[in-house]
Amino acid sequence: MRLTIVGGGGFRVPLIFRALADDPEPVIDELVLYDTDAGRLRRIGAVIEAMSADRIGPSVRLETDLAAAVAGTDFVFQAIRVGGVAGRVCDERAALDVGLLGQETTGAGGVCYGLRTVPVVLRIAETIRRVAPDAWVINFTNPAGLVTEAARSVLGDRVIGICDSPVGLFRRAARALGVRPEDAEFSYAGLNHLGWLRRLTVDGVDRLPELLASEPLLDRVEEGRLFGGDWLRTLGAIPNEYLWYWYATADAIAAIGGGAETRGEYLARQQDHYFTGDDHDPLRRWEETRRAREETYLAEEREATGAGDRDDDDLAGGGYEGVALDLIRAIARDRAARLVLNVRNGGTLAGLDDDAVVEVPCEVGSAGPRPLPAEPLEPYQQGIVITMKDVERTVIEAARTGSRSLAVRALALHPLVDSVRQARLIIDRQLADVPELRQVLIN
């Protein structure tokens, strides 16, 4: 079977090759990497070639023509960054400069990222529908829930969104309790980067109250250190790590704005050094750069809260590439698996219509994912989720129609912006600094 990665020049692509090559029962025998940047594609191809020296993986083909890359493929993994890291830097700085949260997917940054990404994703989806109508599309492009919902308008249920944040939370919570993740059931619900772990059931017993009641146990969980035990007990749940930006917005703005550089600026500097530097021993240089990226992930949050360094298991990889491979295995081999995915709601969460994309546990087999029944969201969760679904859909409509006024509306109604004046200032800054957005907002 063939897997095509759209965004094949992305830095984390070798993680996918490594996961495929280390699969004891290989399901993918051909990997096609597509990217619009031939130089990045060659550099990542060199890393994969070096990886192949001590492992047998799928054959690899590099492509810069989208139709040729996806024609007849079985699976498409989509991980693109429209506007590049420069666009991310503008997302962060445009918000910070007007006193708002400057973060990639949460707040104003996620809205701007979505505005310029949706039209490209729709064009990709149209190509896939034309030359690979039976392919399954696995979307990791952020904002993952919003982008998945946009792509579904073209490809329907064959688009599935993934994120590694929930599985990381599950793994850490289970480990703190001395439980293997595969021996537990996790009740988790919300939207991408906006969900809560509400139950952790082992042998029919919910162990989450035990975890929440114990400071020593919570101290073993990064989210416990990030949010603090008192707040988690108040919520009665463990939030996705990205909810720190909601529950500690002022602290987040101070931490990010007070740093020497934003996360985007750090990555821009690192990527420039990596992709333009000497490529002697490409695998070693890639591993060193990857480790530094992982160690500094959400660094401002951990420094501001005293959460400490990331756990070694989280630094080793096995995140999004592991979720993607588990999903491919379940579909290709028709082996039932439970995964948290971004899928059509279909009545799973009350208060949202059937076509809304939600992030919930699913049973997956050859027919794709089926959301598992979920308890209703708590009112404090429901309010944020409903508001953010409206924001996401306004972003999609603004991108489809090229409407500047709808783009301003999406920003102004976002709870982490909540100001028409600031929304207009951000859009003006984006239109001045990000060419990809100027091509979208034409009305």
Residue type, 339: L
User: CB count, 10 Å around CB of 336?
Assistant: 11
The Cα–Cα gap between 23 and 360 comes to 26
Tens digits of residue pLDDT in 110-166: 999 999 999 999 999 999 999 999 999 999 999 999 999 999 999 999 999 999 999
Contact 168, 321 (CB under 8 A): no
Residue 298, pLDDT > 70, answer no
Polymer length in residues for the chain: 443
Decide if pLDDT at 301 tops 90: no
The pLDDT tens digits for 214-240 are: 999 999 999 999 999 999 999 999 999
Instruction: Please calculate the CA angle 375-225-15 and round it to the nearest 5 degrees.
Output: 80
Sign of the Cα pseudo-torsion (135, 136, 142, 145, in order) = positive
pTM for the complete prediction?
A: 0.93
Residue 248 or residue 259, greater confidence: 248
Q: How many CB atoms lie within 10 A of CB 247?
A: 14
Least confidently predicted of 75-89, 318-332, 427-441:
318-332
Name every residue whose Cβ is closer than 8 Å to that of residue 58 and which is 6 or more positions away in sequence.
Answer: 3, 17, 20, 21, 26, 28, 29, 30, 31
What tokens does 368 get? 């794709």
Sign of CA dihedral 327, 333, 334, 337: negative
278 CB contacts (<8 Å, ≥6 apart)? none
pLDDT at 277 over 80: no
Mean pLDDT across the chain: 93
- Residue 275, pLDDT above cutoff 90: no
CB 164 within 8 A of CB 323: yes
Note the pLDDT of residue 316: 47
Q: Is residue 105 pLDDT above 90, yes or no?
A: yes
Token pair in block for residue 213: 């009641």
* Of 69, 5, 14, the residue nearest 288 (C-alpha): 14
* Average pLDDT rounded to a whole number, residues 166-187: 96
Flag the least confident range among 240-249, 270-279, 344-353.
270-279
Query: Among 167, 168, 159, 129, which Cα is nearest to 141's?
Result: 159
Give the per-residue pLDDT at 295. Answer: 77
- CB atoms < 10 A from the CB of 295, how many? 12
The position carrying tokens 């100001």 is 419
pLDDT of residue 369: 97
Question: For residue 315, is pLDDT > 50?
Answer: no
User: What's the longest Cα–Cα distance across the chain?
Assistant: 57
Provide the pLDDT for residue 181: 95
By the 10 Å C-beta count (0-12 exposed, 13-18 middle, 19+ buried), 61 is classed as: middle
CB-CB neighbours of 42 under 10 Å: 14
For residues 286-299, average pLDDT: 80
pLDDT of 3 over the 70 cut: yes
Q: For 35-53, how does the pLDDT look when each residue is reduced to its tens digit (9 = 90+)? A: 999 999 999 999 999 999 8
pLDDT in tens, 386-410: 999 999 999 999 999 999 999 999 9
> Which H or E run contains 343?
strand 337-344
Whether the bond into 143 is cis, omega within 30 of 0: yes
- Mean pLDDT in residue range 420-430: 97
Of the two residues 310 and 52, the one the predictor is more confident about is 52
The confidence score (pLDDT) of residue 309 equals 57
Q: In this model, does residue 313 exceed pLDDT 60?
A: no
What tokens does 3 get? 């897997």
C-alpha distances in Å from residue 52, one per residue of 17, 62, 178: 9, 15, 36
Predicted confidence band at 367 (pLDDT cuts at 50, 70, 90)? very high
Torsion of CA 176, 181, 187, 188, to 10 degrees: 80
The pLDDT assigned to 87 comes to 96
pLDDT of res. 310: 53
**Average pLDDT rounded to a whole number, residues 252-268:** 92
Going from the C-alpha of 99 to that of each of 12, 85, 387, 430, the distances in angstroms are 32, 21, 22, 16
- Please tell me the predicted confidence (pLDDT) of residue 396: 98
Among 131-135, 162-166, 289-293, 312-316, name the one with the lowest average pLDDT.
Answer: 312-316
Query: Is the pLDDT score of 357 beyond 90?
Result: yes
63-77, 92-106, 123-137, 279-293: least confident range: 279-293
> Which of the residue ranges 17-21, 132-136, 306-310, 383-387 would you say has the lowest mean pLDDT?
306-310
Give the pLDDT confidence score for residue 379 in this predicted structure.
97
- Does the pLDDT at position 289 exceed 50? yes
By the 8 A CB rule, do 384 and 224 touch?
A: no
Indicate if the pLDDT at residue 373 is higher than 90.
yes
Q: Which of residues 183 and 418 earns the better pLDDT score? A: 183
Name 54's Cβ contacts closer than 8 Å, sequence gap at least 6: none
